[in-house]
Amino acid sequence: MGKLIQVPDSEATLFEDTTEPTPGANLRLLIVEADGGSRGNPGHAGYGALVRDPETGTILVEKAAYLGKASNNVAEYSGLVAGLELADRIDSGARIHVKMDSKLVVEQMEGRWKIKHADMRSLAMQARKTVDPRRVSYEWIPRERNKDADRLSNEAMDAGMAGVDWVPREVSAQEPGPSASTAAAPKQPQATGTLHHVEVWVANLQEAKDSLGWLLERLGFQPKDQWNDGASWAGAGIYVVIESGPDVAAEPHQRRRPGVNHLAFNAGSRAEVDLLARRAASHGWSLLFADRHPFAGGPDHYAAYVENSEGFEVELVAQADA
């Protein structure tokens, strides 16, 4: 006999399980993390979803999309559906453990809470048709443990509101997740005279990782190494180190003093520079030279100049022909 979860009659078809367990089913486990959001509820909405290897914490694939005007709950369900589809493509026989910070979605998909909204019912049915429900388990997690999916959903909303497509970052096969501390770095070019790496000393390592580290990852750099007083990111043939510790002088950074003033990165098209500058405001960055933005560097130089809480400056340069 199939298993029938006890729910109201109006929802019996959503939760009915009519097939027998498959003997010798693939026991591989994949972790899905999903989130969705709406600015206005309903308002500009988007979702984010990713699949993670539970043993290494590596992100295997991630996806985000702008939904136009929708409710927060519809966005969260859309993220769930996308995450299940991603996991099923990786391994159509794997067990899937879904982690979300939406208590509503988790309880409804477990069959404990009634689904009243028609759009949500449709999405819940789609989720159950995407993957055999017997392969899926659900877990509610606090918002602070769902940061990657939250990042993706916000990136999707930012892109949609700016009228540009969301562009996925290149996920490294060695990218560390919450359970991993290090990742292999891309091989560096050996040509004499090229820049090898940049080391930035900071007073507060965590704040620097939250601002500069976040920005580096948005620019395509991948986490490389981590240690007690520092971390590094590799990409574009170089790597960038952020380091704190007892050797750092107890005084604020001042870019106007003799020495390196700022770092400048190619950041894509003008629309991508604008989007990144807006998104950076939620990660500890503020816009410099606002009265002259985006031509603070001159009428032929389109760029955003941003500064973090420690006074460190980064220039995000748009491609000349973009």
Arithmetic mean of pLDDT, 7-22: 41
Cα dihedral sign for 213, 218, 221, 222?
A: positive
Residue 241 Cα distances to 48, 169, 244, angstroms: 29, 20, 10
72: helix, coil or strand? helix
Question: Is 80 exceeded by the pLDDT of residue 148?
Answer: yes
pLDDT of residue 179: 40
Cα–Cα distance, 24 to 21 (Å, whole number): 9
Reported as type and span, the H/E element at residue 78 is helix 72-90
What pLDDT score was predicted for residue 251?
Answer: 87
Give percent of the chain above pLDDT 70: 84
Exposed / middle / buried, residue 117 (Cβ in 10 Å: 0-12, 13-18, 19+)? middle
Mean pLDDT within 178-206: 65
Residue 18 pLDDT class (50, 70, 90 cuts)? very low
Looking at residue 23, what is its pLDDT? 39
Q: Which pTM value belongs to this model?
A: 0.55
Per-residue CA distances from 178 to 129, 147, 213 (Å): 30, 10, 15
- Strands 238-243 and 197-201, bridge-based pairing: parallel
| Nearest-angstrom CA–CA distance, 206 and 148 | 17
* Among 238, 245, 186, 194, residue whose Cα is nearest residue 216: 238
Query: Under 8 Å CB-to-CB from 213, ≥6 apart: which residues?
Result: 223, 231, 233, 242
Give mean pLDDT, residues 132-157.
Answer: 92
- CB atoms under 10 Å from CB of 272, counted, come to 20
Q: How confident is the model at residue 192 (pLDDT cuts 50, 70, 90)?
A: low
Sign of CA dihedral 268, 216, 166, 293: negative
Domains of the chain (ranges, CATH numbers): 3-162 (3.30.420.10), 197-317 (3.10.180.10)
- Kindly give the pairing relationship between strand 43-52 and strand 29-39: antiparallel
